[in-house]
Amino acid sequence: MLDLSSKTIDESVQGSALESTLNPESKKKFYIESYGCAMNFNDSEIIASILHQHGYGSTQNLEQADLILLNTCSIREKAEQTVRFRLNHFKGLKKRNRSLLVGVLGCMAERLKDKLLEEEKLVDIVIGPDAYRSLPSLIEEAEGGQKSVNVLLSREETYADISPVRLDQNGVSSFVSIMRGCNNMCSFCVVPFTRGRERSRDPYSIVREATELFEQGYREVTLLGQNVDSYRWEDEAHHTSVSFAQLLEKVALIDPLLRVRFSTSHPKDITDEVLFTIAKYENICNYIHLPLQSGSTRILQLMNRTYTKEWYLHKIDRIREIIPGCAISTDIICGFCTETEEDHQETISVMKYGVYELAYIYAYSERPGTLASRRYEDDVPAEVKSRRLSEIIDVHRENSRIRNLEELGRIHTVLVEGPAKKNADSDHCGRTDTNKMVNFAKGNSQIGDYVKVKIIDSSSGSLRGEILP
């Protein structure tokens, strides 16, 4: 799962009020907040498109909204706590505006529909990830005083025919969803239950969407799925199929100036064919997110990850053999059920071996309805989880320091994304193809340009560069 932050953080929840210029003259306005993974943010763009077609405009001002939507995440407990806090805040708005409708969408909607609608009476509309086409009719029902819900999962829905309304801010990079759902039954994860089974979107609509983005000035697309490596589209009529490696190539061939990224991978599914395709095309970024979750084979078996520690380490070696210099990031869960100190130290050892550029590190948070919640006791004390979490983060910070020091003197092609967070008047920021953020003096660079940058300074969290003539 692709986290939208660029830091190692614990119990992260991403939230943003997304805006666009949809239907500026529209009488009705919607406000939307998205939490969690990149797939949720991409779904919000699909939702915006559907609402646009039905006469809604967007607003960043809650007081102006006729409809407030929260696109939710159930992956960790803190995400749900944040959404509940926001819903209670909206109760005050509803008292001042009795026609205001509040809806909960996404993963939390499917899992907590009864509580949200009946017990807590916090929302008017509950809609799951596969039912966004029904949103206009649900709004109409809610306007008539009914509580409206549709959380049915689908084996076919990919929203391939809907052109997302881009709600991002920079106009340079964007997401393209290539598949939905997940067939991996990792014991800690709710995704198979909230997003359903895997289904792949047809490659023609994917290439068309990416081409349109390039023609609109975008210079980077990230192909999204819960497990992109298992992408496979079958054309039964013509007895043909398209693998993920073949799809990567089709998108890369749109134009050499279009960078291609993807997320997220499952170690068991990323093939040599994918790795050789990345190596073949300069515009497919040398960056792979390879979730580990635990360095202990025993814990990996309890997690139902279907690989061992040794197999995972071999996969890291294979990536670096085929794609020298490829950056690798990972996910770690510490304190999973029955985790011992020895298990924890095995995770530390893999962290030191991998020397990851980026890691998303979390303490285990039991999610109701998962296989782990039914089979295992969450028996690692909170203080032990916290201590192990800190130790893993410390290792990763040292890894980041080492990796960034290695960058000194190197020259990268950087895609300019926008003003730097600090010194926005004088500096631009952008990413290397290995996904490292670099700050540099603007010079004559423009947002969306590719510039050659030499790295002149580093810290554990950032790089400083200078544009070469």
Query: Going residue by residue through the chain (469 aa), what tens digit of pLDDT does each one get?
Result: 334 332 222 233 333 344 444 445 557 999 999 888 888 889 999 999 999 999 999 888 888 999 999 998 877 777 778 888 898 889 888 888 889 999 999 888 877 777 777 755 788 999 999 999 999 999 999 999 888 899 988 989 999 999 888 876 678 999 999 999 999 999 999 888 888 899 999 999 999 999 999 999 999 999 999 899 999 999 877 788 999 999 999 999 999 999 999 998 999 999 999 999 999 999 999 999 999 999 999 999 999 999 999 999 999 999 999 999 999 999 999 999 999 999 999 999 999 999 999 999 999 999 888 999 999 999 999 999 999 999 999 999 999 999 999 999 999 999 999 999 989 999 999 999 999 999 999 999 999 999 999 999 998 778 999 999 8
CA distance 317 to 320: 5
CB count in 10 Å sphere of residue 317: 11
134's tokens: 């029904």
Amino acid identity for residue 279 in this structure: A
pLDDT of residue 19: 41
Residues 49 and 138 in one domain: yes
- Domain ends where: 96, 118, 150? 150
The CA-based diameter of the chain, rounded to the nearest angstrom, is 65
CA neighbours within 13 Å on the CB side: how many for 290? 31
- Is residue 5 domain-resident? no
Residues 37 and 104 in one domain: yes
Q: Domain with 208 in it: what CATH number? A: 3.30.750.210
Residues 65 and 103 in one domain: yes
Q: What is the DSSP string of 341-399?
A: HHHHHHHHHHHHHH--SEEEEEE----TTSHHHHHS---S-HHHHHHHHHHHHHHHHHH
- Is residue 258 domain-resident? yes
Residues 369 and 315 in one domain: yes
What burial letters (b/e) apply to 225-243, b meaning 16+ CB within 10 Å?
A: bbbbbbbebeeeeeeeebb
CA distance 13 to 420: 23
CA distance 195 to 154: 9
- Domain ends where: 368, 391, 406? 406
Asked if 313 contacts 355 with a C-beta cutoff of 8 angstroms, the reply is: no
The sign of the dihedral angle between the CA atoms of 372, 130, 179, 60 is: negative
CA distance 115 to 121: 8
Asked if 316 contacts 355 with a C-beta cutoff of 8 angstroms, the reply is: no
Count of domains in the chain?
Answer: 4
**H or E segment at 224?**
strand 220-224
pLDDT of residue 114: 75
Domain that holds residue 247: 170-285
Residues 300 and 310 in one domain: yes
The sign of the dihedral angle between the CA atoms of 374, 376, 379, 380 is: negative
Instruction: Find out whether the peptide bond into 264 is cis, omega within 30 degrees of 0.
Output: yes
Short-list 86, 100, 165, 87, CA closest to 139: 100
Give residues with Cβ within 8 angstroms of 340, minimum separation 6.
Answer: none
Residues 189 and 270 in one domain: yes
CA distance 39 to 208: 19
Residues 366 and 331 in one domain: yes
pLDDT of residue 26: 58
pLDDT of residue 4: 37
Residues 281 and 375 in one domain: no
Q: Is 36 left (phi over 0), alpha (psi -120 to 50) or beta?
A: left
CA distance 331 to 296: 14
Alpha-carbon distances of 236 from 46, 221, 228, 396, rounded to whole Å: 28, 28, 21, 46
- Is residue 302 domain-resident? yes
Residues 19 and 145 in one domain: yes
Short-list 69, 151, 148, CA closest to 112: 151
- Is residue 228 domain-resident? yes
- Is residue 4 domain-resident? no
Residues 25 and 146 in one domain: yes
Asked if 332 contacts 344 with a C-beta cutoff of 8 angstroms, the reply is: no
CA neighbours within 13 Å on the CB side: how many for 383? 0
- Is residue 382 domain-resident? yes
- Is residue 160 domain-resident? no
Q: Domain with 299 in it: what CATH number? A: 3.30.750.200
Q: CA geometry: angle at 229 spanning 228 and 233, to 5°?
A: 80
Residues 103 and 129 in one domain: yes
- Is residue 1 domain-resident? no
Q: Domain with 29 in it: what CATH number? A: 3.40.50.12160
Residues 341 and 448 in one domain: no
- Domain ends where: 406, 434, 453? 406
Q: Domain with 460 in it: what CATH number? A: 2.40.50.140
CA 191 to centroid of chain Cα atoms: 13
- Which CB contacts under 8 angstroms, 24+ apart, belong to 443-450? 443/467, 445/416, 446/416, 447/170, 447/171, 447/172, 447/416, 447/417, 447/418, 448/171, 448/172, 448/217, 448/219, 448/415, 448/416, 449/415, 449/416, 450/219, 450/257, 450/413, 450/414, 450/415, 450/416
